Copies of this chain bind each other. A is one copy, B any other.
Amino acid sequence: MYATVLHGPEDIRYEQVADPTILAPTDAIIQLSATCICGSDLWPYRGIATNDQPMHMGHEYCGVVIEVGREVRNIKPGQFVVGSFCLSDNTCPHCQFGFQSSCMQREFMTGAQAPYARVPLADGTLVATTEMPDTIMVQHMLAVSDVLGTGWYGAVAAGVREGGTVVVVGDGAVGLMAVMAAQQLGAERIIAMSRHESRQKLAREFGATDIVQERGEDGIARIMDLTDGIGVESVVEAVGMEQSMQQAMGACRPGGTIGYVGVPHGVSFDGQQLFFKQQRMLGGPAPVRRFLPDLMDRVLQGRIQPGKVFDLVLPLDQVAEGYRAMDERRAIKTMLTV
């Protein structure tokens, strides 16, 4: 088959590779219904966190199971499934504690920007629907796999509660999904920090009650204005840079909580600053598997339409243009049809 391979900075190729096959008895092979490009794919694309080897890209996926290994019990060929970018057995103590993204057997999904993909730990990782969803649902189910799941975890990690106040730092796809999550979780006030008009519009559509355009100290001052000098209970940090983290800490009230889901790059914390800020912090790769059944239900019931975060849809063989569009910020998130 043809698939997406990164050969070096900005060198994305859609090229012939070996078809995926069952390697372990716990694997499944799926035929993707659609796939997409993640903000985190841009790190290696931009030459940060690269690999010497060509990388088989893609970790967001949904599709139909076509083959399973001999130890797979719950997942069957013909089922429509969604999985997380973190592969997990869903039975180890960390999984049972709700942190499947720290599964004792954790692997990270790769090679999903392709028509077919191998999914290790299929029983633990994949969640099947009872029926084949309508085609129109595919974009929303795809979004559940990572971008919504990560935004959702950000909001949960930030302690978002019914009637609470939330700031979302970052108007990328994950930030926008965190806005949707905060709205679904019942937050009363959701302040999205966004400088881009198209993203502000989506943020409002997803439930943002206020938009703050300013950044850095000005942004923090604006949040303080909006909250009578108190700050908010919950902050979702969805960028992973020093400035955005400082913004998150500046917006959060003492005793409030920061959920950080942007993988930190060049971020460090001074222990004493953290101590005196007195803010609860929880980050990490999202345990999407914990939320999958609930989020898939919300999609199938038509309560949320997270696929709206895809503002560019390209056929898979134009994947390189999809990367370029996201890198140049012409697109929030690119969906790839197969």
Contacts and interface: CB of A to CB of B under 8 A. Distances in A.
Contacts of A260: 275
Interface string A7-34: 0000000000000000000000000000
DSSP majority for the A interface? mixed
Contacts of A255: 94, 97-99, 102, 287
A254 B277 CA distance: 23
Contacts of A283: 274-275, 278
A279 interface: yes
Contact of A272 (B229, B264, B270): B264
Interface string A316-331: 0000000000000000
B284 A281 contact: no
Given A102-B254, A255-B98, A280-B281, A275 B271 contact: no
A265 B266 CA distance: 22
A278 B267 contact: no
Interface in A237-280: 240, 245, 253-255, 260, 263-272, 274-280
B272 A269 contact: no
A278 B101 contact: yes
A253 B97 contact: yes
Nearest to A277: B284
- Most central of A99, A268, A275 by chain B CB within 10 Å: A275
Nearest to A258: B281
Interface in A182-218: none
Contact of A275 (B94, B254, B264, B272): B264
Contacts of A102: 254-255, 278
Contact of A282 (B93, B240, B269, B278): B278
A226 interface: no
A78 interface: no
A285 interface: yes
A148 to B, nearest CB: 19
Contact of A264 (B104, B274, B282, B285): B274
Interface in A267-314: 267-272, 274-285, 287
Contacts of A277: 284
Nearest to A254: B102
A39 B255 CA distance: 24
Given A93-B228, A99-B255, A281-B282, 12 more contacts: A94-B230, A97-B254, A99-B278, A101-B278, A102-B254, A104-B229, A268-B269, A269-B271, A269-B274, A277-B284, A278-B284, A278-B285
Interface of A: 93-94, 97-99, 101-102, 104, 157, 228-230, 240, 245, 253-255, 260, 263-272, 274-285, 287
5 contacts: A94-B230, A97-B254, A102-B278, A278-B283, A278-B285
**Top 9 closest pairs, chain A to chain B, by CB:** A264-B271, A267-B271, A278-B284, A102-B254, A99-B255, A269-B269, A280-B282, A99-B254, A275-B283
